[in-house]
Structure 1
Amino acid sequence: MSSTQEFIDEAAKIYKVLSNSTRLKILYYLRHQDSETDVKTMVNDLGLVQPIISKQLGILYRYQLVCRHKEGTRVYYVLDDPHVIEMIDDMLKHVKHEIKGEPHPRTLYDNKK
């Protein structure tokens, strides 16, 4: 298998991870935190139960989308790769255009037609 195919396969796995709205909600939440955040705080702020948040954070950690460290009984999380949030932002902009029926911004691709 070529290295390009391996990259494509891995990208598809990450897109699958990002296809869950709860995981996206957690990533966006972490994006707006000034520092590492523990699970208990996320439970309070996001209104989700601890087992759901912990399970989703485990998946995000496995795919290196968040980092974690433990202090006593608390586990703290922070974004591992802010570039992923930029990609999600771009997708949300696309969705916003589709829902509102607004035209997409012109791209270099448009100029080649």
Structure 2
Amino acid sequence: MSADTQGCGYSVDSTYVELAVEVFAMLADATRVRIVLALQDAGELSVNHLADIVDKSPAAVSQHLAKLRLARIVSTRQEGQRVFYRLENEHASRLVADAIYQAEHSLGGIPRHHHTRGGS
């Protein structure tokens, strides 16, 4: 293991393991995964726009966003009365992408993400 990865807590005895489990628990909800995907695609969205995209009520989406904000997965920007949400960094987006890729593997065959761009 390189010094770079060990320095950031990437080891079996890392004190970050329990925090990593909390991140997985935070993302273990279909609505939250959809919120992360929507923010990854759009960059920044309001609660109402996110609610439309994930097909949930604004109140439900707001509750999910509050949890994601506490976990520092999303951050906010206020413009007048409106609050816009965005991903805090690229890591949650990568976790969600990898989880979806892993799910594709569970179906057997060659997953879509392994196909070449030219089509096969």
With the shorter chain as reference, the TM-score category is 0.7 to 0.9
Q: Gapped runs of 5+ residues in structure 1?
A: 105-113
Residue in structure 2 matched with residue 21 of structure 1 by the alignment: 30
CA distance in 1, matches of 2:38, 2:19: 25
Letter in 1 for 2:109: E
Equivalent of residue 10 in structure 1, options 14, 19, 25? 19
Q: Superposed, which structure 2 residues align to 1:28-107 within 5 Å?
A: 28-33=37-42, 35-99=43-107, 101-102=108-109
Q: Gapped runs of 5+ residues in structure 2?
A: 1-8, 112-120
Equivalent residue of 1:6, what SS? coil
1:64–1:81 Cα contact (<8 Å) kept? no
Equivalent residue of 2:94, what SS? helix
Give the TM-score normalised by the residue count of structure 1: 0.78
2:36–2:92 Cα contact (<8 Å) kept? no
1:65–1:80 Cα contact (<8 Å) kept? yes
Letter in 2 for 1:75: V
* Percent identity between the two aligned chains: 22
Greater share of residues in helix: 1
Shift of 1:77: 0.5
Q: Number of matched residues? A: 100
1:36–1:76 Cα contact (<8 Å) kept? yes
CA distance in 1, matches of 2:110, 2:55: 35
Root mean square deviation, CA, Å: 1.8
